[in-house]
Amino acid sequence: MNADNLLIVIPARGGSKGLPRKNALKLGDLPLLGWTAAAVRQAELENAQCLLSTDDPELAAIGASVGLEAPFLRPAELATDIAGAVDVALHALSWLEQSRGVRAEYLLWLQPTSPFRPPAALAQALQLLEETPALDAVIGIKPIYRSLGTLFCQADGDQLEPLARPAEEITRRQDVRPLFTPNGALYLIRSTVLREQRSFFPPRSRGLVMDQIASLDIDDPTDWAMAEALVAAGLTWRERLV
């Protein structure tokens, strides 16, 4: 596994509506940003270019305190609620090439709001992409034990409509073929593919399955309370390493 051709981007915007200033909060004994920084170190990806992309000087300072480099502040147009992750990632790629003359072959997008992703998953994803030429991306995913017939959207009048109507409704978890959804924990992609397709989900993608703890994505106060409870119970990857 060679991390020399890897750019790791850790996005941390100052604004947050669901949980105000969530990226500046402290979770257990570390700032939230520190959990992702620690995972990168534990995965032995120190040779990679690792950039904290933020619009907020306070977050840049917090990042520096846990070993994350924030060599630029994100442009205002990339710091809004509607700014896309792909545009932020491409900005970091372009900055790296223009400022340091480094053209990264792979980009790893690590949201700090997924603090419980295990370091082994980062190394596993990179090894998988490096060793599989026919693959363009590896995405963190979690299983959903539901059939399409028990997943609904709301129609007019709030009436529930199933996404599909199976011939026979399956309600027992063990009988359901699991569906999968991205968990937000990691997105690894070939940089050329990201530039060409402007998506973290190219057709030739593979999922890296994670459990419910590793898949926790902090977006609101309820998620934060769950994260604090998991830390207090010693159920995170950091406690398992002790």
pLDDT at 182: 97
pLDDT at 148: 75
pLDDT at 167: 46
Domain with 214 in it: what CATH number? 3.90.550.10
pLDDT at 1: 66
What pLDDT band is residue 171 in, cutting at 50, 70 and 90? low
Residue 62 domain-assigned (yes or no): yes
Residue 58 domain-assigned (yes or no): yes
pLDDT in tens, 62-104: 999 999 999 999 999 998 888 899 999 999 999 999 999 999 9
Range of the domain at 52: 3-142+180-241
Residue 149 domain-assigned (yes or no): no
Residue 165: count of CB within 10 angstroms of its CB = 9
pLDDT at 211: 96
What is the Cα–Cα distance from 182 to 238, expressed in whole angstroms? 23
What pLDDT band is residue 137 in, cutting at 50, 70 and 90? very high
Residue 162 domain-assigned (yes or no): no
Residues 6 or more apart in contact with residue 8 via CB below 8 angstroms:
40, 45, 48, 49, 50, 51, 107, 108, 110
What token pair was written down for 233? 């119970």
The residue-averaged pLDDT of 190-216 equals 97
For the residues of the chain, what is the DSSP string, one character each?
A: --GGGEEEEEE--S--SSSTTGGG-EETTEEHHHHHHHHHHHTT-TTSEEEEEBS-HHHHHHHHHTT-B--SBPPGGGSSTT--HHHHHHHHHHHHHHHH----SEEEE--TT-TT--HHHHHHHHHHHHH-TT--EEEEEEEE---GGG-EEE-GGG-EEES---SS----GGGSPPEEEEEEEEEEEEHHHHHHH--S--SSEEEEE--TTTT----SHHHHHHHHHHHHTT-SHHHHH-
What is the Cα–Cα distance from 13 to 32, expressed in whole angstroms? 13
Residue 210 domain-assigned (yes or no): yes
How high is the mean pLDDT of the chain?
92
Residue 163 domain-assigned (yes or no): no
Domain count, the chain: 1
pTM above 0.95, yes or no: no
Residue 173 domain-assigned (yes or no): no
pLDDT in tens, 141-163: 999 887 777 788 888 778 888 87
Residue 82 domain-assigned (yes or no): yes
pLDDT at 81: 82
Strands 179-190 vs 106-109: parallel, antiparallel or unpaired: antiparallel
pLDDT in tens, 30-62: 999 999 999 999 999 989 999 999 999 999 999
* Better pLDDT: 134 or 154: 134
